Amino acid sequence: EPEVTQTPSHQVTQMGQEVILRCVPISNHLYFYWYRQILGQKVEFLVSFYNNEISEKSEIFDDQFSVERPDGSNFTLKIRSTKLEDSAMYFCASSGDRYSREFFGPGTRLTVL
């Protein structure tokens, strides 16, 4: 079965630093998503991306966050100036169309010190 991959698996950074989380969605998928899960809490939607632009974003996705699909295969999430509360598992997902099954990646655990 095709897989969504994410790198790195674990990222440790100092507060105030910029981080870029990388994802390679399934090749023929058109919809891309980022979610986060703070330890012990539920998964929360951050942003959806379609046709090279953001189609929806949550209140969490403020000006510190940005997404990009730089080369047609990678899908990145950038956090400009990390805060302690950004520590979480970040999941990338992709789907073939808007209402079909989403495939999640294994996640990147971000730890902000």
Partner 1 sequence: KNQVEQSPQSLIILEGKNCTLQCNYTVSPFSNLRWYKQDTGRGPVSLTIMTFSENTKSNGRYTATLDADTKQSSLHITASQLSDSASYICVVILTGANNLFFGTGTRLTVIP
Which residues are at the interface with partner 1 (CB under 8 A)? 4, 31, 33, 35, 41-45, 48, 50, 55-56, 58, 89, 91, 93, 98-107
Nearer to partner 1, 81 or 87 (CB): 87
Q: How many CB atoms lie within 10 A of CB 81?
A: 12
The span from the CA of 109 to the CA of 9, in Å, is 6
In the complex, the smallest distance separating the C-beta of residue 113 from partner 1, rounded to whole angstroms, is: 20
**Minimum CB distance to partner 1, residue 47 (Å):** 8
* Whether the Cβ atoms of residue 21 and residue 6 lie closer than 8 Å to each other: yes
Nearest to 110 by CA among 62, 39, 25: 39
Q: Which is nearer to partner 1, 14 or 41 (CB)?
A: 41
Rounded Cα gap, residues 63 and 3, in angstroms: 30
Helix (H) or strand (E) segment spanning residue 103: strand 103-104
> CB of 92: closest distance to partner 1 in angstroms?
8
Total Cβ atoms within 10 A of residue 12: 12
Q: 83 vs 98, which CB is nearer to partner 1?
A: 98
Least separation, in Å, of the C-beta of 14 and partner 1? 24
C-beta of 14 vs 53, nearer to partner 1: 53
